[in-house]
Chain A
Amino acid sequence: SAVISQKPSRDICQRGTSLTIQCQVDSQVTMMFWYRQQPGQSLTLIATANQGSEATYESGFVIDKFPISRPNLTFSTLTVSNMSPEDSSIYLCSVDTLGRTEAFFGQGTRLTVV
């Protein structure tokens, strides 16, 4: 299994500012994913981050708004830029290892933009 430390766990931010969310894994993993989840809703994949290459973004998400870093095999960051109230959501990082069928999740970052 993989243990994921995600921080901050929650934050309240002013509109127009940016927040960087960190995701630290206790073992080396190939693929890291960033999801967004509105309360009571499903998880929507924002992007896939592989070490050594640029993140791959899903339809509706762009790098300027959600820049991602993946400097090594145990760490990634997601920045929510120029925030608006519509960005209020729970952001989750997830890790995956080739050959495994289970995805592991961090505890999430509950973001409120005011």
Chain B
Amino acid sequence: GQSLEQPSEVTAVEGAIVQINCTYQTSGFYGLSWYQQHDGGAPTFLSYNALDGLEETGRFSSFLSRSDSYGYLLLQELQMKDSASYFCAVRARPSGGYQKVTFGIGTKLQVIP
């Protein structure tokens, strides 16, 4: 089967940097995604890593190590509006099945003044 692990909660100060880690186990791995979800809202896409290394999009960066089955999301210059849940998600095609996205438990980030 598939499994993902990420911290359930993180608290960080406005203006600081925070890293949210994610480890996964799956077969037929394609890539690792990150999604942001505010309370009452739908998940929105942040980033996707298919290859090893760092991808940067503005204040957000995402890293993947396929050999370690590990990735992280890095948020810089934190703003109050970044308070939300962040989900890592594995895109994979388990043998015999369709390609699908499986989500981790989500990390609730609280940004404090």
Contact = CB atoms under 8 A, between A and B. Distances in A.
Interface of A: 31, 33, 35, 40-45, 48, 50, 56, 92, 94, 96, 101-108
Contacts of A106: 42
Given A42-B105, A101-B91, A106-B42, A48 B100 contact: yes
Interface in B86-113: 87, 89, 91, 97-106, 108
A102 B36 CA distance: 12
Interface of B: 31, 33, 35, 41-45, 48, 50, 87, 89, 91, 97-106, 108
Given A92-B42, A102-B45, A105-B42, A31 B102 contact: no
B101 A103 contact: yes
Contacts of A50: 98
Contact of A42 (B42, B45, B87): B87
Given A44-B103, A105-B44, A107-B42, 12 more contacts: A31-B98, A33-B100, A35-B103, A42-B104, A42-B106, A45-B100, A45-B101, A50-B98, A92-B42, A96-B101, A101-B31, A103-B101
A8 to B, nearest CB: 15
Contacts of A92: 42-43
Contacts of A107: 41-42
Contact of A102 (B48, B100, B103): B48
Nearest to A92: B42
A106 B43 CA distance: 9
Nearest to B106: A42
Contacts of A102: 33, 45, 48
A48 B43 contact: no
A14 to B, nearest CB: 24
B87 A43 contact: yes
A44 to B, nearest CB: 8
Contact of A108 (B42, B87, B97, B98): B42
A105 B103 CA distance: 13
A35 B35 CA distance: 15
5 contacts: A45-B101, A45-B102, A48-B100, A107-B41, A107-B42
